[in-house]
Amino acid sequence: MSILILIDGQAVDLVAGAARLVGAARQLGDDITLFIAGVATQEQAAPLAVLEGIREVIWCGLPATGEGGVPVEDLAHGVVSMAGEYTHILAAASTFGAERIPRIASQLGVAPVTGVVEIRAADTFVRPIHAGALLSLVRLHASPVLLTVQPWAFAPVATGDSAVTVGREVVLPRLGLSVWGGRMAVSRQGGNGDLDTARVV
């Protein structure tokens, strides 16, 4: 099995989150590549190179503005172009993963499994349904397998004494399909807003 893990390079606790994703991936196989999206330099990807059980670290930089991280469409295009090298592609079940894994799956013509809390086999996964009231057993017959996993459900790997080399930068296309709109200050006075009349939602 060859596994690609998509990592949000702008995550607050980058190494701890990645360690749990690698812990999940090691239940699938030991040929694991970390793809760190949205770091400014190769050196910023280096702290993840000491995680045990990984073979390679690759990375892609921020767009010229640096705001909002790597656009979803750009990253998806890059991952789709290399998807044939991997049996599994996974990310955290966070906003980052929830925006990217379904888009990649759609472009590859496969169905993703989201919110995975247990890996039974390379094609069999457990995920919660009905707001966590029930657990669903899902078996996939597709390649590659695309997953988002709940990091808290998997034990983190340790850090080793030696590091793998932080490898190539993946140069993404700048498709320009979405732009960073900036941040807004949100007032918490006056209760909930009215979505029907809100200028920005």
pLDDT at 69: 72
15, 35 contact by CB (below 8 A)? no
C-alpha distances (whole Å) from 101 to each of 110, 139, 164 are 11, 18, 26
Digitized pLDDT (tens) for each residue of the chain, 201 residues in all: 899 999 998 888 889 999 999 999 999 999 999 999 988 778 888 889 999 989 999 988 876 555 567 888 989 999 999 999 999 999 999 999 999 999 999 999 999 999 999 999 999 999 999 988 999 999 998 899 999 999 999 999 998 777 787 877 777 767 666 665 555 555 555 556 555 555 666
pLDDT at position 43, please? Answer: 84
- Give the model's pLDDT for residue 174: 76
Q: Specify whether the CB–CB gap between 161 and 54 falls below 8 A.
A: no
- The DSSP symbol for 123 reads T
Output the pTM of the full model.
Answer: 0.85
Rounded Cα–Cα distance for residues 141 and 160 (Å): 35
